[in-house]
Amino acid sequence: MSKVRVSNFAISIDGFGAGPGQNLENPIGINGLELMDSFFHTRVWRKMHGEADGETGIDNEMAALGFDNFGAWILGRNMFGPVRGPWPDESWQGWWGEEPPYHTPVFVLTHHERPPLKMAGGTEFHFVTEGIETALAQAKAAAGVRDVRIGGGVSTVRQYLRAGLIDELHLVMRPVLLGTGEHLLHDIDMRSLGYECEKHVAGERATHVFLRKA
């Protein structure tokens, strides 16, 4: 049976999943790239950028899980790009260039309509204006027997958590302090929502915590 999963979602030890001031120069907010350090060194990341090197330890194994058995993704608009308000044109095609790493249908939450966007490598962005449940229904239909990944950002994950729609979360806890930004679990009672810690694994640069809905 397919699941709705959050995978490889990096947070600081003070609970922030993004820094403040997200923009073109700071896509994960100020100091936000510190959250991604355990990913940047992996062979999975390096291969995505055409490089043959990279580390092959536990962090790399965990990074590979983020692309395993997913048939569709859901992203908030910030995860697609820094453009705000109505789309001025269709020139912005995402952070990843001509071939994004998703290789599946991707459903982008937005308040503003835009035609679907086909990219190289099998990624096709669909822009959903009807809310999180409609996006999830479309993603599940596209994924078939495979899982749906809620890719972020923080606000998107929080919306799906509050609605009780996420089955499993893999959080990558980095030993850094952001101090401010977007907090992932503030005011969300995960225990009352039925989540429990299934396991935690120490990697080279992060601790991987797996939560699942009981």
* 3-state helix/strand/coil string of 6-17: EEEEEEECCCEE
What is the per-residue DSSP string for 56-119?
A: -SHHHHHHHHTTSSEEEEEEEHHHH-S--SS-S-S----TTTTS-S--SEEEEE-SS----EE-
Does 24 have pLDDT greater than 90? no
Q: What pLDDT is stored for residue 49 in this prediction?
A: 81
How sure is the predictor about 84, in pLDDT bands with cuts at 50, 70 and 90?
A: confident
Percent of all residues in the chain with a pLDDT value above 70, rounded to a whole number: 100
- Going by pLDDT thresholds of 50, 70 and 90, the confidence category of residue 145 is very high
Q: Evaluate whether 161 touches 15 at the Cβ level (below 8 Å).
A: no
- Per cent of the chain over pLDDT 90 is 92
Q: Which numeric CATH code is attached to 4-20+28-82+98-213?
A: 3.40.430.10
Nearest CA among 6, 1, 12, 65 for reference residue 173: 12
pLDDT tens per residue across span 185-211: 999 999 999 999 999 999 999 999 999
Task: Round the average pLDDT of the chain to a whole number and report it.
Answer: 95
Task: Check pLDDT > 90 for residue 35.
Answer: yes
Residue 52 has pLDDT above 90, yes or no: no
